[in-house]
Structure 1
Amino acid sequence: MFTAEEMRSLPLCFSDIEDPRRPQGRRHRLQVVLGIAAGATPCGMSGYKSMADWAGGLGQQARERFDCRRENKHYVVPSEFVIRDCLVRVEPGTLGRALNLWNQAWGMQDSALAIDGKTMKNALDETICQTHILSVVGHESKTCYAQKKWASYPFTVKGNQPTLEHDIAVQFENCGTSDYVEVTPADHGRIDTRRIWCSTAVNTYLDFPHVGQAFRIERECINKKTGKCSLEVALGITSRTQQEASSQRVLEVNRGHWSIESVYYCRSRPLVFSFVGRCQGLCGSAK
């Protein structure tokens, strides 16, 4: 997954982070431990043990690129205990800033962002209120951004906005031929067909800021084995005008938004190890 240059650059992005451990007994430098944990995360390693197992499977050449400690003519990797000890001690904001700098240099650029919020279970802030988390994830890179300014929005309207939902539904009651149709490959034993209609006719009276166009999306799914057909309808709005985003682009962005549902949150301190947009929680659950 990583090139040789990317492996060498990972530990370097943590070189300015002060090691919170006592000097006595340190066998592995902090930047090496964090670099290996960062390398393991996008490979699907979401826990301390799996990160240590991933590191143990690295060859000598890969270990040299991560700048691991050399003992008896061999490069050695940090243990599960060392990885856990370092990750729980490093301040998450400092870790996130270092990773964002690495991502700017080596990561993919995103054309759209997905935004979602969660309320953490059994987690209270300093005002004794439940902790709320807002995540912004890039469609292409899967980067988890702390914040993104000057961004346009796609917004799927649900039942908690009944007036807005009704106004959009009325507009598309007799929608006719769709503006764009997408048929996905028959993966996982089903055929998915998505149709979208877009309109600017309701922009002037919708009670929502900066509306560029409204849309209706139909998702038709046919089970190849049983022949059973299901149909879902989604209504929404976006701040992008029809000149800025075609019907095809609005459909792509709406579909990409659901990638944020694969993002995990944790509250182990509460360290969320977000590497190149793959937020991998190390424990805890959200509702």
Structure 2
Amino acid sequence: MCRQSATVCLTKSPTAAQRGVNGVAERLVVLRDPRDRRGRRHSLVSVLLTACCAVLAGARSYLAVGQWARHASLDTLARLGVRATGSLGVRRAPSSSTIRRLLTLVCPGGLADLLGCDPAGSRHLAVDGKAARGSRTDTGQAAHLLSAVLDGGRTVSRLRVPDKTTEVTGFTKLLSPFDLAGVVVTADALHTHRDHARWLVEAKKAHYLLVVKRNQPTLHSTLGSLPWKEVTARRYDREAGHGRRETRSVRTLTVTGLGLDFPHVAQAAKIHRHRTNLKTGKVTRETVYAITDLTARAASPQTIGQLARAQWGIEAVHHVRDTTFGEDTSKIRTGHGPENMATLRSFAISTLRTAGHHSIAAALREVSYPPFTRPLDLIGLPLTSNAT
């Protein structure tokens, strides 16, 4: 049973400590095993740890995960919790078919929560969605995955948006398990809804910064008509990189008492980006409006600019999953496979970011040199004194 279907998928509710402090193995113990009790050769935790480590070593598919496990040493299997069987006490790695079966069955919401980072105490949390294009079939659309990501690309949780619905329906379901008190939640224009803003501030004691585009025509028009030329609270930033030069300006305006029809809104922001492609010389300009419940005392134009840029940074995580892990070309389609493999990829990114790596591609190469020890060390699996 799965949180994604509004039922329970855990044997007991994970605490903040279990999600963020204990080791990965201890956190995975609370997941419910979807298999029948009879005939289980491998524990759920050992199979999931095997998949985590294989993806950290660069595996992109069930077959690749199974191949990694098949070549693992007895000591590696012991650290993963693979049981010793038979009179000789031999440890046999889970097969590709076992790995495939479990990853298509295990609750994706619970797995994403337990492998993710806990947002409590963090400053910012970004919400955005992405389609796994390779999961599209002749009869079904591609899996659409809604993610919550902390600064630095560390994923908190993810859920699959039900077919024939939009990301909007999954917003509160994605964030409801977590303590968001004091956290600024940012999202793109699709999630700029009054109900979302009210829920964040009143139910979760959080703050919001939401982008406003033309899908909210009245609100967008009202923001555009504000006296931006008279605003003195401004911030300018310039930087060069990735083959372009960019200048950003942020203007903020207190809108309390101006009759802006949006719950708890305190400030509006006008963000202008001016980009020059250094190779082609092409110049692009973009103006974006945003609203927030943060007051001018709590959030300066510089702070608003940083939060907006952090929201755009979630796209970098999606880019890494596509280019480095080949998510868009992956043909994993059945059951919960698409979202669970996406969770393992995001877990690998979070783990490598936490270890201090800036380039995920370079980090995967480094981990692949000692592929049966380095991934286990990164996720904190203890050493064993006995290989059998």
Aligned residue for 2:298?
A: 244
Equivalent pair of 2:147/2:155 in contact (CA under 8 Å): no
Matched, 1:182 2:237: yes
Alignment of 1:66-215 (within 5 A): 66-69=80-83, 77-99=93-115, 103-104=117-118, 110-116=122-128, 135-140=147-152, 141-144=154-157, 146-148=174-176, 149-174=204-229, 179-184=234-239, 186-201=240-255, 204-215=258-269
* 1:46 Cα offset (Å): 5.2
Name the SS for the 1:142 alignment partner: strand
Equivalent pair of 1:10/1:66 in contact (CA under 8 Å): no
Amino acid at match of 1:138: L
Alignment of 1:10-25 (within 5 A): 10-22=24-36
Equivalent pair of 1:119/1:132 in contact (CA under 8 Å): yes
Cα distance between partner residues in 2 of 1:206 and 1:54: 57
Q: Structure 1 pair 248/61, CA: closer, same or farther in 2 (3 Å)?
A: farther
Cα distance between partner residues in 2 of 1:189 and 1:253: 23
Deviation by residue 1:129-168 (Cα, 9 ceiling, x = unmatched)? xx99754333342222621422211111101112211222
Matched, 1:234 2:288: yes
Q: Structure 1 pair 162/153, CA: closer, same or farther in 2 (3 Å)?
A: same
Higher strand share: 1
Cα distance between partner residues in 1 of 2:71 and 2:297: 51
* Comparing 44-53 and 239-248, the one that deviates more: 44-53
Aligned residue for 2:310?
A: 256
Amino acid at match of 2:346: R
Equivalent pair of 1:182/1:195 in contact (CA under 8 Å): yes
> Cα RMSD over matched residues?
4.1
Aligned residue for 2:196?
A: none
Cα distance between partner residues in 2 of 1:119 and 1:269: 16
* 1:57 Cα offset (Å): 7.1
Cα distance between partner residues in 1 of 2:307 and 2:47: 36
Amino acid at match of 1:244: A
Higher helix share: 2
Paired residues, what number?
A: 263
Cα distance between partner residues in 1 of 2:148 and 2:98: 30
Deviation by residue 1:94-125 (Cα, 9 ceiling, x = unmatched)? 4345435xx44xx996311223468998779x
* Comparing 22-31 and 162-171, the one that deviates more: 22-31
* Comparing 138-147 and 193-202, the one that deviates more: 138-147
* Comparing 158-167 and 20-29, the one that deviates more: 20-29
TM-score of the superposed pair, with normalisation by structure 2: 0.55
Amino acid at match of 2:229: N
Cα distance between partner residues in 2 of 1:276 and 1:86: 13
Name the SS for the 1:215 alignment partner: strand
Q: 2:42 aligns with which of 28, 39, 64?
A: 28
Aligned residue for 1:283?
A: none
Q: Structure 1 pair 230/197, CA: closer, same or farther in 2 (3 Å)?
A: same
Residue segments in structure 1 that go unaligned for 5+ positions in a row: 1-5, 125-130, 281-287
Relative contact order higher in (CA < 8 Å, ≥ 6 apart): 2
Equivalent pair of 2:269/2:289 in contact (CA under 8 Å): yes
Equivalent pair of 2:251/2:301 in contact (CA under 8 Å): yes
Q: Structure 1 pair 98/155, CA: closer, same or farther in 2 (3 Å)?
A: closer
Cα distance between partner residues in 2 of 1:260 and 1:110: 16
Q: Structure 1 pair 115/277, CA: closer, same or farther in 2 (3 Å)?
A: farther
The percentage of counterpart residues that share the same residue type is 31
Aligned residue for 1:278?
A: 346
Residue segments in structure 2 that go unaligned for 5+ positions in a row: 1-19, 159-173, 177-203, 322-326, 349-388
Equivalent pair of 2:115/2:347 in contact (CA under 8 Å): no
* Comparing 173-182 and 261-270, the one that deviates more: 261-270
Aligned residue for 1:269?
A: 335
Cα distance between partner residues in 2 of 1:160 and 1:215: 17
Aligned residue for 2:179?
A: none
Equivalent pair of 1:138/1:144 in contact (CA under 8 Å): no
Q: Structure 1 pair 235/12, CA: closer, same or farther in 2 (3 Å)?
A: same
* 1:190 Cα offset (Å): 1.0
TM-score of the superposed pair, with normalisation by structure 1: 0.71
